Structure 1
Amino acid sequence: MDIFRISIRIYVIILTTKGLLCLRNVHVVVPEAVERGSKVEMRCLYDLEQEDLYSVKWYRGDREFYRYSPRDVPPLRIFGIPGIEVDMSETDGERLTIIPASPQVAEGQYTCEVSADAPSFLTAQVHTHMYVVDLPKTGPTMHGLRRRYKPGMKLKVECISRDSMPAANLSFFINSEPAHSQHVLHRVDGKSPGGLMTAYSTIQFIVQKHHFIRGKIKIRCTANMYTIYLQSLEKSAEEERVPTTPSSPPEVHEAIVYSIHRLPESNSGPVTSSGTIFKMLLIITLLLPTVLR
């Protein structure tokens, strides 16, 4: 078979150099992965130039399950494979629509074979691979994140994505930046009902001051499967600050001191006059604050 394919390629090259090529640009458009039970459209595209189409055949593995021959009546023929249902209403010479009911059967290599009619009868094959998956029914969950952290504390969070086939790929992000692989541990449990799988991922590291942005640290877990499934869950924790009790301002005790000035004694007057004056001043000084109040 390999020798036959090589001979075809050589023949194509010879025809190309002579400008006689009639079948070229053969390629397929097939999704990388699809969900079991969903409708899938595959396309086999080609350029016949001046030639007529003889047939288009589709294979799963080495088994043909669909053929389109415009000269036949009817032009469409199905060779049933249990687990792969062909939708005849949306199938023709370039388009093939199937419903993969069984991942074990429908997943694998698909081949489109295009043949030109006389006089060249040139044939070309193109291969591709398609995965059939069971998607999780719910998004990922996270457990273990505290409400507050401070530098030096250990952060440990577990992310879980349940019941899928295959297990979902889990990734952690810290403030939208991918977590270092040495901080993350993955494991898979295949004991779910129906043979489905559950993915677990745990992140653990010592919180540092730079992890806090505007007083918060954000942890996000993302679950993805090929290019058809992507779900994320993000939670945040606040930075725990050391409580500070504002010191009370010292009480201001105002003291009013009344100074008593002793008048100089006069030699011209009697001593009793000076004593009397002194007593009067003393009484006035003591009573003045009370009067002013």
Structure 2
Amino acid sequence: MTVLLVFGLFIVIVTAHNITYLEVPQYGDPRRDAALVCHYVSERGDPPLHSVKWYRDNNEIFRFTPGQQPPTRAFNSSAGGVSSGVCNEHSCAVSVALPRKFNTRISFTCEVSTEGPRFAVVNQTKYLTVAVTLKEDPVITGASGTVQVGEDVLLNCSTKAAMPPANIVWYVDGKPERSDPWMSDNTEVSPADEHGLRSSWRALRVRVGAGRALLEVRCEATQPSKPPYTRSTSTGLMVARSPHLSMYTASGSSSTEAAVVLAGSITVHMFFTYSALSKL
């Protein structure tokens, strides 16, 4: 990378390494260290690498200086520092302890500089949110048996423990559905477990209307993190139809034959599930 420095009427051209990719996870579990990696390359004519520095927000937490002994140095931080670091002329990887405060958003910056006399500097920044995200899609239960027109179907959607706990929204045929008055209008949340994580659930009662062959229901669980994290599960229920006997007797069939045809024509209830992962 070429950098122009202006001193009075003089323009000095200096070159710096390029940061090709900065690896910072979007979400970090506070129960384990976060792995960060900074990748950089030099172009022909660039001065040698002087140092690579890592910053948490505005505080330096780690430094790699290949011309010094020892070449690496970690700096303590009140919210957690670097537990280990492995760096070379092309990359610098560190493991960082995260604070126990959920939904905290942290910026991590990699700064690469070349040798003097100009010490050209480049940097990149990415953000990490402290959260235990849902590792599985929510689960829909209660959708068993034959679904008939006019029937009330009671469903429940639940998630595994996470933090922050997920808010659940039901969708029926693609439209958000409110719970009945006798149900809680909000997502229910469990007490915290030994790690401070909470599971969520929400019930839904939906009446099967006439003139339809399929009832599509989706449960969407969203953690109110920054940015939000969403997983969802959908269920499709085939609505059973019972043909009238007159449909066959009117065509000239005997009552016995009509009854046999009628029994064989009853639609068997079908249930299928599919899962979808979306990031808002």
State the Cα distance separating 1:28 from its structure 2 match.
2.2
Q: Answer whether contact 1:76 1:92 (CA < 8 A) is retained.
A: no
State the Cα distance separating 1:109 from its structure 2 match.
1.2
Q: Answer whether contact 1:220 1:233 (CA < 8 A) is retained.
A: yes
Aligned AA (1:23): A
Specify which of 162, 165, 170 is matched with residue 164 of structure 1. 162
Q: Answer whether contact 2:62 2:82 (CA < 8 A) is retained.
A: no
CA distance in 2 between counterparts of 1:117 and 1:164 reads 46
Specify which of 41, 56, 64 is matched with residue 60 of structure 1. 56
Q: Answer whether contact 2:33 2:98 (CA < 8 A) is retained.
A: no
CA distance in 2 between counterparts of 1:210 and 1:95 reads 63
Does residue 69 of structure 2 align to residue 69 of structure 1? no
Q: Answer whether contact 2:140 2:155 (CA < 8 A) is retained.
A: yes
Aligned AA (1:129): Y
CA distance in 1 between counterparts of 2:232 and 2:176 reads 18
Match of 2:187 in 1: 187
Aligned AA (2:161): D
Match of 1:288 in 2: none
Match of 1:41 in 2: 35
CA distance in 2 between counterparts of 1:40 and 1:20 reads 37
Aligned AA (2:83): V
Does residue 83 of structure 2 align to residue 86 of structure 1? yes
Aligned AA (2:95): I
State the Cα distance separating 1:165 from its structure 2 match.
0.9
Q: Answer whether contact 2:64 2:71 (CA < 8 A) is retained.
A: yes
Distance 1:182 1:19, change over 3 A: farther
State the Cα distance separating 1:200 from its structure 2 match.
3.2
Give the secondary-structure state (helix, strand or coil) at the position aligned to 2:160: strand
Match of 1:22 in 2: 15
Q: Answer whether contact 1:186 1:202 (CA < 8 A) is retained.
A: no
- List alignment gaps of at least 5 residues for structure 2: 180-184, 257-280
Distance 1:172 1:22, change over 3 A: farther
State the Cα distance separating 1:73 from its structure 2 match.
0.3
CA distance in 1 between counterparts of 2:140 and 2:220 reads 10
State the Cα distance separating 1:158 from its structure 2 match.
2.7
Specify which of 254, 259, 265 is matched with residue 249 of structure 1. 254
State the Cα distance separating 1:56 from its structure 2 match.
1.0
Q: Size of the alignment, in residue pairs?
A: 233
Match of 1:134 in 2: 132
1:84-163 counterparts in 2 under 5 A?
84-88=81-85, 90-92=86-88, 94-98=91-95, 100=97, 102-104=99-101, 108-136=106-134, 140-145=138-143, 147-163=145-161
1:277-292 counterparts in 2 under 5 A?
none
Distance 1:41 1:201, change over 3 A: same
Aligned AA (2:175): H
Aligned AA (2:94): T
Specify which of 23, 32, 43 is matched with residue 26 of structure 2. 32
Per mean C-alpha deviation after superposition, the further-off stretch among 101-110 and 50-59 is 101-110
Q: Answer whether contact 2:53 2:112 (CA < 8 A) is retained.
A: yes
CA distance in 1 between counterparts of 2:155 and 2:238 reads 15
CA distance in 2 between counterparts of 1:196 and 1:243 reads 51
Greater strand fraction, Structure 1 or Structure 2: 2
Q: CA RMSD in A?
A: 4.2
The structure with the largest alpha-carbon Rg is 1
Match of 1:268 in 2: none
State the Cα distance separating 1:221 from its structure 2 match.
3.4
Q: Answer whether contact 2:54 2:108 (CA < 8 A) is retained.
A: yes
CA distance in 1 between counterparts of 2:189 and 2:255 reads 65
Instruction: Give me the TM-score of the superposition, normalised by structure 2.
Output: 0.62
Instruction: Give me the TM-score of the superposition, normalised by structure 1.
Output: 0.60
Q: Spell out, residue by residue over 1:208-267, the C-alpha distance to the aligned partner (whole angstroms, 9 max, x if none).
A: 456524xxx45443556689x88665555442334755868379xxxxxxxxxxxxxxxx
Aligned AA (1:125): N
Identical-residue share of aligned pairs (%): 22
Aligned AA (1:104): K
